[in-house]
Amino acid sequence: MTGPKDASDGAFDDEALETARVAFARPVAFLMGAANIEGLPAPDLPEVAFAGRSNVGKSSLINALVGQKHLARASNEPGRTREVNFFVLEERLRLVDLPGYGFARASKTATSQFQNLGRAYLRGRPNLKRVYLLIDARHGLKAVDAEALDALDLSAVSYQIVLTKADKLKAPEVAPLVAATLKAISKRPAAFPRVLATSSEKGTGMPELRAEILAATTV
């Protein structure tokens, strides 16, 4: 897959954004859900994964990213997803929806099982290019997110913070939140040094996120 190179100054030019738009306009479909590490597909395509609290809007973001309203299914009951779900973009790239953490309505045993599945995926996936950790812009980084940040650092997988629901903030509040979030992760070894503010509802930040993904998965 060819695409834009990483924008070292934090901005992608119009050509890079257009290249990413075209790439994500290609056919994308649900591939499978894996309930255990043995059920994962072969690591033969580049993958990017999405993680976050159970009510952060992962399904909505994935749908907005690829321009399909019902590709990733959001549940009315936060924390119901117990599998690692794979979506394939024209046999070129996989988008991976990891089990949510926090607010999961499950027993401690069940909660540990699907959270451990997410951790096992992070540790044992050589084709994983980046994890996008979704944080609700209305709340920012919370204590519950620290465990996820620690797990990502321990796995030594590049991860990038994506703020969701940024349209719920007043416009002048967004830039300071991005700056504060970037400062909070600045000393974390695996954190990618850019933070994106997005809105699945308004489409804000989606062109930049597509370009980030394409840059991360382009050799």
Show me where the domains of the chain are located: 30-199
Residue 26, φ and ψ in degrees, nearest 5: -70, 165
pLDDT attached to residue 219 = 58
pLDDT tens for each residue of 100-132: 764 344 445 544 544 677 778 888 799 999 999
Q: Say how far apart CA 149 and CA 78 lie, in whole Å.
A: 21
Cβ pair 33, 86 in contact under 8 A = yes
pLDDT attached to residue 24 = 95
Q: Give the containing element (helix H, strand E) for 211.
A: helix 206-217
State the alpha helices, DSSP H only, in 53-188.
58-66, 108-123, 143-155, 171-184
Q: Which CATH class is domain 30-199?
A: alpha beta
pLDDT tens for each residue of 64-94: 999 998 898 765 544 445 788 999 999 899 9
Strands 84-89 and 93-97: antiparallel
Low-confidence ranges of the chain (pLDDT < 50): 2, 4-6, 8-9, 77-80, 102-107, 110-111, 113-114
Cβ pair 79, 86 in contact under 8 A = no
Q: Say how far apart CA 108 and CA 214 lie, in whole Å.
A: 37
Beta-bridge mates of residue 53: 101
Q: Say how far apart CA 148 and CA 141 lie, in whole Å.
A: 11
